[in-house]
Amino acid sequence: MDENNALILQLLREDADEVMSAALGKGKQPEGLETDAQVSFRLFLEELQNAEVILNDQRMTRSHQQAAQLDGDVVAQSQKEEQVAQEDRNLSIALSAGDRPSETHIDLESPDIDDDDFDFIEKLSCIYITGIDGEETDSETYSCDETDIIFQPESSAWAASRPPRRTRRKRACEACGDLKHFAELGQAPCQHEYCQQCLTQLFRGASIDETLFPPRCCKQPIPLDRSLIFLDPEVVQQFRKKAVEFSTARRTYCHNRNCVTFIPQTQYVNDTAICDECGCRTCITCKNTAHDNDCPNDENLQQVIQLARDQGWQRCQNCWGMVELSIGCNHMTCRCGFQFCYICGARWKTCTCEHWDEHLLFERAVEIDARNGAHAQAPQEQRVQRVMDNLRINHECEHERWTGRKGPRRCEECRKVMPVFIYECRQCQIMACRFCRFHRL
């Protein structure tokens, strides 16, 4: 492919040089001035030169990539052998001096690249070096390099333990189900894979909704560094900005109602936060306009606090957000991730408060029983009591086992109605849509 591209560029350059020479030979324009045709061909020649530079860079990059595949493991093995020789020398010197040598152990087995790392390297190779092929082949497996790599000599034990590295060419996105080339799919730590559009949606959502931060799948955060090749710079910039905000406890926002921008702690000067957007200065204690003396009494805030007391709401001690308990136990998890007791507000498991409000527990049990009550044989009182006992046991549920229910049902996390299908946790009976199950809970 490189040879064909080089030949095409060479022929184009020869044709352009010939036309350029013919145009210069006529020479009817004043000296030092160029005709429109000459300017066009000069710019065309510059484009050809740039294309040749890019082609040479690609050829060099491909050569480095192939060399790393061929020689990387051999070089690593040689480095370990040199380490062994150095340790032997240090041991000899220590014994000669009568010192007690320290115990060291170096694994001589050649390092094997983790499957996830190898898959990621193959994706980078396809995207930036060899390119992603089209639809001309229907083979089940795919290798970025058109020729099989002939590995350098290796230890027999390593060769026997190293599995053949072949990658499935087409895989399905976990979210939308579309078949994509494997280099177009980002992989989460749980091995689920997402296409560029769905991965972008996850990171955009995590930049807007704090309950989705950090972006995760199966409770495992999706690392940004492995997703950069699939995300637009604007998405990455916004996510990194929000990551600082969502990771900050007791945040300060600009008091200017036309701004309300988050102010990072790097912009704090003593007890004042300075907004980069509008330049306003905000007190980090009372969150109002910066002042010299004690914080003034905020009547609006006091009214909200009094309303919270009247309604029985609790404040998160990490972000000062208001939280209302409608179902479940007194173990609360705020949007910011802080876990606390709903009764006293203390960090969870640092108090002696009751885990349950019996009235709310009973209401929740009745609600769950209503899903199956029509087909149950036992009396309702026994069924409800059984559900209450189960909720007490699984009040700190990790949602590891799920079953399906036919719709329409409402997701108890995002409140959206699923018309066809919804998941139900087998332990605590919470119902969640697919998105909330994998990315919120």
More confident residue, 305 or 402: 402
- From 57-71, 175-189, 346-360, the region with the lowest mean pLDDT: 57-71
More confident residue, 37 or 360: 360
pLDDT higher than 80, residue 157: no
Q: Is 335 exposed, middle or buried (0-12, 13-18, 19+ CB in 10 A)?
A: middle
Confidence band for 404, pLDDT divided at 50, 70 and 90 = very high
Q: Find the helix or strand (DSSP H, E) in which 272 lies.
A: strand 272-274
Give CA–CA dist 240/93, Å, rounded.
52
Mean pLDDT calculated for residue range 265-282: 92
Mean pLDDT calculated for residue range 55-80: 74
pLDDT higher than 60, residue 146: no
Mean pLDDT calculated for residue range 194-216: 94
Mean pLDDT calculated for residue range 288-298: 81
CA distances from 221 to 216, 249, 296, 335, 409 (A): 4, 20, 42, 16, 28
Mean pLDDT calculated for residue range 251-264: 93
Looking at residue 84, what is its pLDDT?
85
Which sequence spans correspond to the domains of the chain? 1-20+42-65, 248-283, 398-441
Kindly report the average pLDDT of the chain as a whole number: 82
Looking at residue 72, what is its pLDDT?
63
More confident residue, 154 or 150: 154
Looking at residue 374, what is its pLDDT?
62
pLDDT higher than 70, residue 102: no
214 preceded by cis ω (within 30°)?
Answer: yes
- Of 207-221, 343-357, 374-388, highest mean pLDDT: 207-221
More confident residue, 189 or 73: 189
**Of the candidates 251, 261, 285, 252, the residue with the CA atom closest to the CA atom of residue 271:** 285
Helices (H) and strands (E) in the chain, counts: 10, 22
Looking at residue 244, what is its pLDDT?
94
- From 83-87, 103-107, 140-144, 311-315, the region with the lowest mean pLDDT: 140-144
| Single-letter amino acid code for the residue at 286 | C
pLDDT tens column, 4-13: 888 888 888 8
Judge if pTM exceeds 0.75.
Answer: no
- From 18-22, 134-138, 187-191, 236-240, the region with the lowest mean pLDDT: 134-138
Looking at residue 149, what is its pLDDT?
39
- Of 155-169, 211-225, 328-342, highest mean pLDDT: 211-225
